Amino acid sequence: MDTTPADPRRRVVLGLLAFGLLGATACSTPRTDPPPEPSEEPQATAEPVTVRITPEDGASDVRPDLPVVVEAEGGTLTEVQVVTAGLEGTGADEMTGSLNEDETEWTSDWTLVPGADITVTATAETDDGERTEVTHAFSTLAATPGQRLELQSNFPISGQTVGVGMPVIIDFDLPVQNKARVESAMEVLSDEPVRGAWNWFGDRTAVFRPEEYWQPNQNVSVNLRLAGVQASEGVYGIENHRLDFTVGRSQISTIDSDTKRMTVERDGEQVQDFPTSIGKADVERYTTTSGVHLTMEKYEDLVMDSSTVGVPVDDPEGYELEVQYAVRFSDSGEFTHAAPWNDRLGEANLSHGCPNLATDDARWFYENSYMGDPLVVTGTDRELEVDNGWGYWQRSWEDWLAQSGTGVADDTGEPGTPGSPHGESD
């Protein structure tokens, strides 16, 4: 690192010349004392600030999950810029960092793009305003084919409007072992701040859920800063992603097995009350699950086949029929749908597990449902499993937080995440 100080500044102090005039007599000779020698007091030269950047200049095959660290000695850091070649101006190379309290050390918040040329420029100043600028250039280790973590799917998708119960669901193409690091690379921000956390369902699916339902009518952003994260030994994320979705009005529906009614509340006020007929419950698979479900997907026309729940179509209990206005709320074959053949709506539970509705009622629910609307079923003796569909609200907040990789709640009103995506140095 070369630093070139500005010309040293000196303060010159001039001695005052004092002339004393003595009285002259006829027998004396006028005398003038010699003036004192001018004096010059040099001020100590101000030392320039020393700036150190890690990784070192010219380094190659730098692990992308290691942080960029900039330190200043003899001054404070005023600016740090990290640029990834080829991504300038795209927003994909934006790198924020955190300063320590005395502004002498900066650490990058996120990991680096694998197989990239990186330039770090840091500026620091002394108390007297003397600036030093240092630049390091280095390259990062490329991700190995077959060991590149990529996003396989996500719910919701950008631009979608969802219900207040909607989680963020991220599916990866490879198993993740360093779950806390990957969680810490996924930043969730919302207009109305909430506490939330990630949980894992297997090694490939991460789910973010707030402590309570989202506030309605707001925007949520998810920054998946996965490039450079070491998800497992030698496996690195290769690309960043961003999701932007909207939480719409609050709609919460309740189905009561005992009253055989389905009520719908919109923004706290009841707007519908439908007669229904749910699972006849003579065996478990024909028992509607109780608990907090979420609406998942919907079909105007759907062929329902008993073989999908383990009952052959040619079995005496088997069936294959086309239904209208079907809204899924679990992975065990449960849909609300029109059942014009059922003449006991509101009177008896006769279905194979699906809440049957009159055609007009089923159409209204189909047309007015967002993905992620809560649908609560009460009164049956079959509890919804947390991993049956999107049964994530079945897990208490205490257990949800305890099973997070970081174990710390994330405040969606503040940038950043509770943990660090960086790995440890070898």
Per-residue pLDDT for the chain (426 aa), expressed as one digit of tens each? 343 343 333 333 323 223 232 333 333 344 455 655 655 555 555 688 999 999 999 999 999 999 999 999 999 999 999 999 977 665 666 799 999 999 999 999 999 999 999 999 999 999 999 999 999 999 999 999 999 999 999 999 999 999 999 999 999 999 999 999 999 999 999 999 999 999 999 999 999 999 999 999 999 999 999 999 999 999 999 999 999 999 999 999 999 999 999 999 999 999 999 999 999 999 998 999 999 999 999 999 999 887 777 778 777 777 788 999 999 999 999 999 999 999 999 999 999 999 999 999 999 999 999 999 999 999 999 999 999 999 999 999 999 999 999 999 999 999 999 999 999 987
Residue 185 maps to a domain: no
Looking at the domain assignment, is residue 413 inside a domain? no
Point out the domain boundary residue: 82, 105, 139. 139
Structure tokens at 164: 């207040």
The answer to the question of residue 14 being in a domain is no
Which residue matches tokens 């509890």? 383
Is 293 an active-site residue? no
> What is the per-residue burial (b if ≥16 Cβ within 10 Å, else e) of 114-141?
bbbebebbbbbbbeeebebebebebbbb
Q: Which domain holds residue 332?
A: 251-369
Please report where in the chains the tokens 């004396």 appear, as a residue.
28
Cβ-contact 174, 232 below 8 angstroms: yes
Give pTM, 2 decimals: 0.86
Strands 218-224 and 205-210: unpaired
We report the CATH number of the domain holding residue 298 as 2.40.440.10
Q: Please give the tally of structural domains in the chain.
A: 2
Q: What CATH number corresponds to the domain at position 54?
A: 2.60.40.3780
- Which listed residue (136, 337, 352, 422) is catalytic? 337
- Choosing from 241, 293, 354, 422, the catalytic residue is 354
Residue 226: inside a domain, yes or no?
A: no
Boundary (domain end) residue, out of 320, 346, 369: 369
Is residue 147 one of the residues assigned to a domain?
Answer: no
Q: Has residue 168 been placed in a domain?
A: no
Whether 197 is covered by a domain: the verdict is no
Strand order in the sheet with 50-54: 50-54, 69-73, 105-108, 97-99
Interior CA angle at 95 toward 189 and 55, to 5°? 140
**Cα-to-chain-centroid distance, residue 209:** 11
